[in-house]
Amino acid sequence: MRFARLQCLIGLTALSAFFAGSTVLAGGVAVGDSSLIGTLDYSDTFTAYDFGGLEDRDGLGGFNMGIVDYPADGMPGEGLAVESNYGNPLRVWSDWKWSLNLETNALNGVTPFPGPSGAGTDTGMTQSGFSAGVYYDWGIEYGLRDRFVLQWDATQTHDRIDLCAGVERDNIFAAGSVSVFIRPSGNSIYPEVGLYSPLVGEVDTGLASPTQGGQWYNYAALFDLPNRTIEVFVDEVSLGVINVNTVGGGAFVQVEMNNDVVNVGFSSFNTNDDRIWTDNFQVGAVVPEPGTIALLLGGLAALVAVSRKRK
């Protein structure tokens, strides 16, 4: 009985330590707080310079109250370095995809700013202004792992949010790219959660979306290239696993999956949306599986048992 209690205590202590500091916030997950990513490869909090962000993201020597910190119509190549690369090759964002703003600078359009995400929008976030009916995607070169999580915070457009693993940055329409589309709950025209390839088009995954247009959410996809699966998450709650070989009646069975680049983005097709705000881009290795944790705990319990017998 005493040994059973010891095993339980070891298990609870180890699990508590493993998940310590991993806080899930409704609407946003700050970089470093992800319960899905174990090791970060690239991340960006879009923090303004005066709040500890990268220098020269506005080209004017720091944050300037009353204007955006990185203007969407700035000079080419200006201040677009990805914030953290964790020893991996430097990456940069493409020009003019968004401006870098604070909550206090959020510019309402037809689409109103929904307020703070609760995960760092007070120190910086991106803002895109556009004409209704457009789509934008932006990304970086990746190629580090064949099993990884792509994650970010965004306000849900009334059309879709995109997460893509593929071959060309800023472009989900290149052959060899596979994208997850997440739409608001109850969409009567398109899938709530779709899988898209330019070689196939979009198919309904059968997964249900919990999102509503105009609100902050955290979106993530676990791309497992060897097993050809994609697990989809909203606010770090799994919506389910897509089997790329069987979804859509096998429509994707010949579609190649790649990790050369990772892209995120959105579409406002057939809606009046003209603004989107995003934050906390992060990509990296998957946390150890529960089975792995159980195996480690089992091994630790066995060592304790051996040690007790020797005493």
All structural domains of the chain with their residue ranges: 24-291
Q: In the structure encoding, which two tokens stand for residue 108, read together?
A: 């309402």
What top-level class would CATH report for the domain 24-291? mainly beta
Residue 11 one-letter amino acid: G
* pLDDT score for 20: 37
Largest CA distance in the chain: 74
The dihedral over CA atoms of 268, 274, 275, 281, expressed in degrees to the nearest 10, equals 30
Is residue 287 a contact partner of residue 21, using CB atoms and an 8 Å limit? no
Rounded CA separation 185/202 (Å): 17
Q: Supply the pTM of this predicted model.
A: 0.83
For the chain, which residues score pLDDT lower than 70? 1-26, 56-79, 289-311
Say if residues 159 and 270 touch (Cβ distance below 8 Å): yes
Task: Note the pLDDT of residue 9.
Answer: 34
CA neighbor of 283 nearest in space, from 237, 230, 222, 209? 222
| Whole-number pLDDT of residue 4 | 38
Question: Tell me, what's the pLDDT at 53?
Answer: 82
Give the model's pLDDT for residue 217: 98
The pLDDT value given to residue 294:
47
Residue 18 has what pLDDT? 35
Asked whether 24 and 44 are in contact (CB, 8 A), the reply is no
